Amino acid sequence: MRVLCCVKRVPAPGAKINITADGQDVDTAHLGFAMSPHEECAVEEAVQLCERFDGEATVLTLGPPEAEEQLRYAASLGVQKAVLLSTDGSSWDPQRTASAIASAIETLEAADGPFDLILFGNESADSGGYQVGIRAAHALGRPIVNAIKGIEPDLDAGTATAKREIDGGFELYNLPMPAVMGVKEGLNLPRYPTMRGRLASKKIEVSVMQAEADEGGQTRVTLKQPAETVSNTVKLGNGPEAAPAIVDLFEELGLL
């Protein structure tokens, strides 16, 4: 089984997300980077499936050269191949991103055969455009369903059952492979890298391809902060002695 996961390098902010002076980007001067949480699960799923079905997992990212860090992290978890679709680091619109990724996938498949499963994060943690996986799947002529939190391939039948979370349960889909899925955190519990994995990830060769595609019809003008929540926090007390005041509050709000 051949599985590809597509990930994005994003900053890992804490209590607040600061913006650069020109308003164009998140100020990452004091921040680390990670891949979006949904995509951590995509990587974990790819590794698990390839362990179970004796397959090969590949990770791909479109981003600046620094995104190699996220590729190596994926490799430290067990992904065997890594592809960097290199950009100058400016923010690419969703149409452009999807089109560059789809043509890169075509190139990779022409060399090594089709991927049975391609996993995207449902939406990226930062720009959250909700469309790159869908556009890429459409360009490749493959089925895609979003919001997937469970995958069970049936290699004999050539299909994969996918579970989508809805309020109060799951919806089930049954996609013929090769298939594409937009996955969400909760699909699995991602592992942490082992020492051996870390060492292996240093040795893995990252194939670099230049990302190329035409700009789409959406352009970032600027980023801005939402209105701050200001609250006059009322202190109800200290420690367990505050329990009666807390339960008074429950009663006041008609909850008890």
Partner 1 sequence: MADILVLAETEDGAVVPATLEALTAARQLDGDVHVLLCGDSVDADDAAERLGEYGASTVHVGESDLLNVFGPEAWGQALALAIEEISPDVVLASGTSKGNEVLAMAAARLDLPFVANCTELPSELADDDEVELTRVQWGGSLLEQSQLSAETRIVSIAHHALEAESAGGSAAATETIDMEIDDLYARTQVVGREMAEAGVTLATAPIVFGGGRAVGSAEAFAPLEECASLMGGRVGCSRAVTNNGWRPHRDQVGQTGTRIAPELYVASGISGAIQHWVGAMASKQILAINTDPEANMVVKADYFVEGDLHQVIPAVAEEIKKRKA
Ligand X SMILES: Cc1cc2nc3c(=O)[nH]c(=O)nc-3n(C[C@H](O)[C@H](O)[C@H](O)COP(=O)(O)OP(=O)(O)OC[C@H]3O[C@@H](n4cnc5c(N)ncnc54)[C@H](O)[C@@H]3O)c2cc1C
Q: Which of residues 87-126 bind ligand X (CB under 6 A)?
A: 125
The listed partner (partner 1, ligand X, none) that binds 90, CB under 5 to 8 Å by sort, is none
With CB under 6 A as the contact rule, the residue among 12, 157, 208, 245 that binds ligand X is 12
Mark residues 178-217: x for contact with partner 1 by CB under 8 A, - for none: ----x-xxx--x--------------------------xx
* Contact status: 247 vs partner 1 (CB under 8 A): yes
The listed partner (ligand X, partner 1, none) that binds 157, CB under 5 to 8 Å by sort, is none
The listed partner (ligand X, partner 1, none) that binds 33, CB under 5 to 8 Å by sort, is none
Q: How far is CA 70 from CA 44, 59, 60, 100, in A?
A: 13, 9, 10, 19
CB of 206 to partner 1, least distance (A): 27
Please state, as a whole number, how many other Cβ atoms lie within 10 Å of the Cβ of residue 234. 7
* Contact status: 187 vs ligand X (CB under 6 A): no
Residue 154 burial by Cβ neighbours in a 10 Å radius (0-12, 13-18, 19+): exposed
Q: Is the dihedral of CA 185, 186, 191, 197 positive or negative?
A: negative
- The region of 1-9, 30-38, 65-73, 193-201 touching ligand X under the rule CB under 6 A is 30-38
Instruction: Round to whole Å and give the CA distance between 179 and 177.
Output: 4
Q: Which tokens in the block code for residue 83? A: 């592809």
Applying CB under 6 A, which residues contact ligand X? 12, 34, 36-37, 125
